Structure 1
C-alpha cells in the first residue's frame, strides 16, 4: 500500500494564551500541514509545571469550526481519565463539526499528575494497559458503531506507544495509525513485531499507517524512516510563541519526497 508522506503539527496547548494557539492553528493550515494535533493533558509537560494550559477536547471542537482542510486530533487522549463511551461520542461530534476530519488518538496514559490532581486512579503501567486493551478500545469501537447519527467516516484510530507484548497487539487489532518513537533500529524491530501480531489475527500490516516524530531527527534520519515505511511525521511546537521555522523546513522536505 503506497502512501504519501504527511506532516502533522502538534500545537502543544501550554504556556500560551488561547489567542496564540488559535493563530497557530490558522498559520499551520495556511502553510499546508496535513494534520494539526494537540495533546490530552491537564498540566504542562515541560517548563513551569503550573504554567498556562488548556483542555484538549473543547479545543478540538473549536479547531473543527476554525479550520477547513486539515485533519485534527489529540496526540493522544489518555485512557485512564476519559470514559471510553463518552470519548467515542465526543469524537463522533467533532467528526461532524469538522466535516469528517477527526483522527481519534488514544493511549493508555502515563503522566501521573494528570490522574492525581483530577482524582483518577493512576494504578500501574500494567493495569493501565490491561484496561486500555481489554475494555477501553472495545468500548470505543462498540459505541462508535451504535451512535446516531453515525460518524461521517470510519474515524481513523491512532494508537500511541511501543510496548511489544501488549500495545502492539492492540494496534494490530484496533489501530489505523501507529505512533511511536525511537531510532531506526528500534522502529524496524517494533514494526516486525507489529507484523507478527497482525499475522496472528489475519490482518495485513500494510493497512496500518506508521507515524513518528521529528524533534530529534535531521533530514538523513527522516529519510531513513521514510525509506523504512513511516509516512506520518509530527513536528512538536510549544508556546508561548509558536516557531514555524522547523515546520516549514519539514513541509519542504515532505513536498520533495512526495514529488520524487
Structure 2
C-alpha cells in the first residue's frame, strides 16, 4: 500500500546551484564559502563540459573533480551535482566516485543524476548521443548497478547516499523517480507539477513505493514568492536558486533563505 501524499512535515531547504562557468576557480571557491556562511542547505553544480549560457566557449570547469574539492572546502553544507550525466561514466565508477566524495565530505554528498541532454557535450567528448529514450533506458539500467556497487565498496558509504533525479518525462523519468529517487527535481510550474504528481503517484503504486519518502524539489530562479508558495502547498520542500559567473549575485540567495526561515519558523 502506497501513501497518496508527499511528506509535508519536512523543513524547507534552499539549494544553490553555483554554475561552474565564466569564472576562475578562486571565485567559485569564494562563492561556495559565502553560500555556506549564509546558511544555504545544499550547494549544487552541474555536469557539463561547456557553458550553458553566455559565451559558448567561455570559462568552464568539470563537475566531479570540483565536487571533491567542495567536500574538503566546506564543513556543514550538503553538496552534489544538479545533475550528473549518467552517459559520461560507467555506473560502477559513478558509484565509487559518489562513495569517495561521501567520505571526503563526512556524509554530505547527494547523488543527483539524470539521463543527459546537452548534445555538444556528447559530440565534443566522444560520447554517443542517441535519443532521449535510449539515454533514459540507460539511466534505468544503471541505477540498480550503482546502488548494488554501494553495497560492495570497502569502506561502505557513510550513509544511505540520497539519490536526486532530475527531469519530468511522464512515461520513463517519473517511473525511474518512483523506483529510485529520494528527491525529485523538476522545473514545472504549478499546474504542470500538479499533473505530474498524479502521474508520479500512479507510478509509485505500480512499483509499491511509498511516495512520502520522496522529497520534492524545484527551481525558483525567476519565480515569484507567490509561485513558490503555490509549489510549497503542493508539497515541495527543496527550492534551488541558480547563480552564474562572472559575478555570482547572492542577493537572490539571501531573499530565498529569508523566505525559508519564515516558512520554517
- Is the pair's TM-score, using the shorter chain for normalization, greater than 0.5? yes
Deviation at 1:124, TM superposition (A): 0.7
- Find out whether 1:153 has 2:156 as its counterpart: no
Deviation at 1:247, TM superposition (A): 0.5
Unaligned regions of 5+ residues in structure 1, if any?
none
Q: How many residues align?
A: 258
| CA distance, structure 2, for counterparts of residue 54 and residue 200 of structure 1 | 40
| Selected match of 2:149 from 143, 166, 178 | 143
Unaligned regions of 5+ residues in structure 2, if any?
1-6
Matches within 5 A, 1:160-175: 160-175=166-181
What SS class does the counterpart of residue 146 from structure 1 fall into?
Answer: coil
- Find out whether 1:8 has 2:25 as its counterpart: no
Match of 2:192 in 1: 186
Higher relative contact order (CA closer than 8 Å, sequence separation 6+): 2
Q: What TM-score do the two structures reach when normalised by structure 2?
A: 0.96
Match of 2:122 in 1: 115
| Selected match of 1:39 from 35, 42, 46 | 46
| CA distance, structure 1, for counterparts of residue 94 and residue 188 of structure 2 | 29
Match of 1:257 in 2: 263
Match of 2:253 in 1: 247
Match of 2:3 in 1: none
| CA distance, structure 2, for counterparts of residue 147 and residue 27 of structure 1 | 34
Q: What TM-score do the two structures reach when normalised by structure 1?
A: 0.98
| Selected match of 1:69 from 76, 79, 89 | 76
| CA distance, structure 2, for counterparts of residue 172 and residue 147 of structure 1 | 25
Moved over 4 A (4+): none
| CA distance, structure 1, for counterparts of residue 190 and residue 173 of structure 2 | 19
| CA distance, structure 2, for counterparts of residue 182 and residue 96 of structure 1 | 33
| Selected match of 1:101 from 108, 119, 126 | 108
| CA distance, structure 2, for counterparts of residue 39 and residue 120 of structure 1 | 18
1:153-196, Cα deviation, whole Å (9 max, x unpaired)? 00000000001110000001110000011210100110111111
| CA distance, structure 2, for counterparts of residue 54 and residue 83 of structure 1 | 20
Deviation at 1:144, TM superposition (A): 1.1
